[in-house]
Homo-oligomer: A and B are copies of this chain.
Amino acid sequence: MDSQRLTPSIQPSPAEQEGTYKLLPFILKPENIARFESGKVLIGDRRKYPFEQSFVSCDNIDDVARAIQDMVTQGSGPWLAAVNALRLLTCRHKAALSASIKRRAALLKALGQARAALVSTRPTNTAMKQRLDQIIFIAEEAVTKGDDVDKAVAGGITAMLLDIFDDYTLRARAMADQIKDGEGILTHCFGEAGFILSLAFAARDGKDITVYSPETRPYFQGAKLTAPAIREMGIKVNLITDNMPAHFMSEQKIQKYITAADLITLDGHVVNKIGTYQNAIAARAHDIPFFAFAWGRDERKKSRDDIVIEQRDPAEVKLALGTATTIDIVQACYPAFDITPPEYVSGVVTLQGIVSPYDLSGLQKW
């Protein structure tokens, strides 16, 4: 996190330059994902979206942890809810110069306990861990200096968001520049702000585009998040089932395949929602390029061998929005992600523009 960003600058940031914030649909505006307000953490309830735009209100750390565990939010939701949860503690402590050593120590201890409780909700979510640590570091600094801890934490969260939206903006601009007027774009699952902004930029640049959004079983993120968000921005979108992408490719309706990525290995393997891989295979068979948005570099994930595909509860495959699709005795499998090898990836969308998946390892920041 670059706290310099909070100081005024003559140069507008990339996000300011593009007017990024105004373009975001409801579901991606940070205050609708999670915010601290009037002593509570409000978390946008993605289980009810798009049918309702409602919030879960949390009074304490346990409430926030439970909401994260109960899948109220996903994507960038868990870390944003988690860092805002820290303000439930800091807002009640005025750690001014006058505050006693005991009170300051108690606050830091409470923050550490909160971190542990929040991290335990999603042990594999490294973004949440890293960002909680960054905000706790800011709190510690403020305690040491005798500054207003709550103000420092609030500023830290804002700076973090500004940075992240600058990153989204840089990647989205690089992708938008590749999109041509009249193109059809296939995606998969919910591409978060990077992908969604690339569509918004392309549309604002005067390009007429049509998006094909597979519903993404078993959770229907494509039906519930992607298609409504794109529709809200006034861009044409067709919801399809997960078995249709290749058919529309064969009808020349699709010119680009673009997704987010949960992780990209240093040697260019794209780990993303189950289904990403088979669409990439179909895309190559139709000479359609596949672009995946990068999301930070992870030194520990060098190659395919460093990836363990998460196996979720197979019972979820046998349900559609809570209704059983088959009888109990039928077995099911639920690998949550798949791996698309670099030979199927035309470009990785990074802070430095579109990069070959074979040219990632030398890049310091994606």
Could you tell me which A residues sit within 8 Å of B by CB distance? 50-51, 188, 212, 214-218, 220, 223-224, 227-228, 231, 236-248, 250, 273-275, 277-279, 281-282, 285, 309, 317-318, 320-327, 329-333, 335, 338-339
Contact = CB atoms under 8 A, between A and B. Distances in A.
A318 B227 CA distance: 11
Contact of A227 (B223, B231, B330): B330
Contacts of A333: 212, 238-240, 244, 248
Nearest to A283: B281
* Oligomer copy total: 2
A327 B274 contact: no
Closest 6 CB pairs of A and B: A243-B275, A246-B278, A320-B320, A217-B241, A223-B325, A242-B243
Tell which of A216, A277, A339 has the most Cβ of chain B within 10 Å: A277
Tell which of A239, A240, A278, A335 has the most Cβ of chain B within 10 Å: A278
A317 B243 contact: no
A332 B278 contact: no
Nearest to A276: B243
A323 B326 contact: no
Contact of A242 (B242, B318, B329): B242
Contacts of A214: 243
Contacts of A322: 323
Contacts of A246: 277-278, 281, 338
A336 B332 CA distance: 25
Given A282-B278, A327-B51, A338 B250 contact: yes
A330 B218 contact: no
